[in-house]
Amino acid sequence: MALAKPKFREAVFQILFCLDTGHAQKEKIIELMMGELKITKKATTKAYEEAMAVYEKIEALDDAISCIATSYSIQRIQRVEKNILRLGVYELLYQKKVPPLVSISEAIRLTNKFSTKEAGKFINAILDAVLKKGQGEKVDLKEIKNAFTHLEETGLGRDSGN
């Protein structure tokens, strides 16, 4: 039986997070994810490959995020939110088979599960702006700045040192 898309996306996100922290030994990541998520080796390997596709474009993804989040550096975004953004932007820019609103909705779902609702508002603002920019629409950077300011007020937007 195929892995449900939301669970697959969670696996990709968690593997991407592992890669970002420097724990990039493929076999150990696959073993860990199989145990944690209770998924097959085949599904885990596929998720690993998807995470690597995202990770290989990390510079372009971070640039796309930085073009939108102009009031602060990407280093100020916490690692969980940063990797959710990377996955969301990757889907918006490189996976045209995934409807954009699904990508944004799933990124918010991941944020609500692995972070906070406040961070979800920030993720939504960034991804919505990336989508609008890609469609040639005007982007309201004030909305993003407000979302990040609110995130900082909750203590979640401080410099992550990454």
* CA atoms of 16 and 30, how far apart (whole Å): 12
The pTM assigned to this predicted structure is: 0.86
Instruction: Tell whether the model's pLDDT for residue 162 goes beyond 60.
Output: no
Query: Which CATH class, in words, describes the domain spanning 58-153?
Result: mainly alpha
Which sequence spans correspond to the domains of the chain?
5-56, 58-153
**For position 151, what pLDDT does the model report?**
67
Structure tokens at 115: 């972070």
Instruction: Tell whether the model's pLDDT for residue 143 goes beyond 50.
Output: yes
* CA atoms of 31 and 117, how far apart (whole Å): 30
Spacing of C-alpha 79 from chain mean position: 9
27 Cβ contact partners less than 8 Å away, ≥ 6 residues apart: none
Between 153 and 111, name the one with better pLDDT: 111
Average pLDDT rounded to a whole number, residues 89-112: 95
